[in-house]
Amino acid sequence: MGGSGARTRTDERSGPQGIPAVRLSRATRSALAADVTQPASSAVTVGRIVHLGIGAFHRAHQAVYTQDASTPDAGWRITGVSLRSPQVRDTLAPQDGLYTVTERSNGASATRLIDVIDTLLVAAEDPDAVIAALADPETRVVTLTVTEKGYHRHPATGALLVDDPAIAHDLGGGVPRTIFGFLAAALDRRRGAGAGGLTLVSCDNLSGNGALLMRLLLAFVERRDADLAEWVRAHVTAPDTMVDRIVPASTEADRAGVATAIGVDDAAALVTEPFRQWVIEDRFAGPRPRWEAAGAQIVDDVAPFELAKLRLLNASHSTLAYVGLQRGHAFVHEAIADPALRAFAIAQMQEEAVPSLTAAAGLDPAAYIDAILDRFANADLHHRLDQIAMDGSQKLPQRWIATVAERQAQGLDSPRHRLSLAAWIAYTAAAPAMADDPLRNRYAVIWADAAGDARQVVARFVDELGIFPADFDHAALGDAVVTWQAQGPEAALRGAIGEPVA
């Protein structure tokens, strides 16, 4: 995928909108501005990671940790796999897999070059190449960022959706379309070739993501080959993880700004925040990068960290998205600067989410909330609320609904979470906003049948969507939706934080 050699810096030549005409690649990396941090290439590759779902988050998070864990003497390389779209491959291939990550905060920025991705595959175009990469004895770790939808599990029960068309296709032995089809085929090859097991590292925002991945994988494999399932149990591990870094979708303005700063055109440039965190359960099937040397935390129990992130950071992100969009905001930093919405989000975290957390060494909820608020206020990121609002049906069970259900079982009320849920339910009435949600067709049918009756909508959401527990208090939620619709976002929010409503 790469080239070699060097060119003199030619940033005085510009393409469209002032972007330098020279494209980033191994041949042009010497033209990068002097203040761009460049890694020393590792002399020997000691292992390979295959990453499934090579989007922006992986490239700004796990790939950075992997590069920082490498040394000039030995390093790990990454094969990046897109399951469907060739966009990332087509963007990175002309750059030999190189791209930059720029950290921005409070007007300051720092840019670094990332060079650990040396192979790019598109599963929809060449599934055999993906299976071969996963089965290669050099591959010892598989990381995944496939979003909540990629696990094909029931949102409430966590069970594998065996009737899902893609899962049914893969169970029938067709060319794989899902992560489970690819993993099963590759693990079968590894078993036959004596290539050893794998560590599967889920980096998606799901509670108990490693245990969930293993449970779903075994449910899939057992339906095809019971002997392979036993081999998987003996040779494959899936540690739980917690990942944290805010990585907004890059814009043309981001790309132009980075290009001006670094002197070459990086079509895959990423802009993120300085903060990053990766907590990984110490359960590996074999060799792995020394991610702890790059700042990752290897721990016995990820659950307290994961729960805090889901119920504080992720839950607040969703609150800012659904409430903020209906208050006219477009970006996270705008929403958190809204005094009423900020007070509401803080109260939701402090009074309802924090009591549901598990204590752990190194976890200070008050300090974590302060850090979250500072990160949300970073106006240099331009993190879009509509990006966060995507796929609510897949995200909210672990971000909000579980907290409300637990507190309900303890006889405790959750008025802020309930109002956030009301804002989401109101948001689902807008068909264009729901374009990527797997349940969008159900929303449309329910809203049409209800003819504006909010309580009927809520009752059917709770009973039919499969994301609420059976005993969820839909009457109280119906009241919240009625309040949201009758009073409007402004008055409903002020009432929720105890401010007078005009």
Ordered domains of the chain (ranges, CATH):
16-286 (3.40.50.720), 303-496 (1.10.1040.10)
Distance between CA atoms of 175 and 353, rounded to whole angstroms? 43
Distance between CA atoms of 481 and 478, rounded to whole angstroms? 5
pLDDT band at 454 (very low <50, low <70, confident <90, very high): very high
Mean pLDDT of the chain: 93
- Backbone φ/ψ region at 225: left (φ over 0), alpha (ψ -120 to 50), beta: beta
More confident residue, 174 or 136: 136
* pLDDT score of 160: 97
> How big is the chain, counted in residues?
502
356: amino acid identity, one letter: S
Residue 10 has pLDDT above 70, yes or no: no
What values do phi and psi take at 216, rounded to 5? -70, -40
* pLDDT score of 18: 61
259: tokens are 């290009």
Distance between CA atoms of 67 and 78, rounded to whole angstroms? 10
Q: pLDDT, tens digit, for every residue of 253-288?
A: 999 999 999 999 999 999 999 999 999 999 999 999
Handedness of CA 164, 168, 169, 173 (dihedral sign): positive
* pTM given for the model: 0.88
DSSP lists the bridge partners of residue 115 as none
Residue pair 239/282 in contact by the 8 Å Cβ criterion: yes
With CA atoms as reference, report the closest residue to 61 among 349, 352, 273, 287.
Answer: 273
pLDDT band at 418 (very low <50, low <70, confident <90, very high): very high
What values do phi and psi take at 74, rounded to 5? -155, 140
Q: pLDDT, tens digit, for every residue of 322-363?
A: 999 999 999 999 999 999 999 999 999 999 999 999 888 778
Q: pLDDT, tens digit, for every residue of 293-302?
A: 999 999 999 9
Q: pLDDT, tens digit, for every residue of 365-416?
A: 999 999 999 999 999 999 999 999 999 999 999 999 999 999 999 999 999 9
* pLDDT score of 257: 95
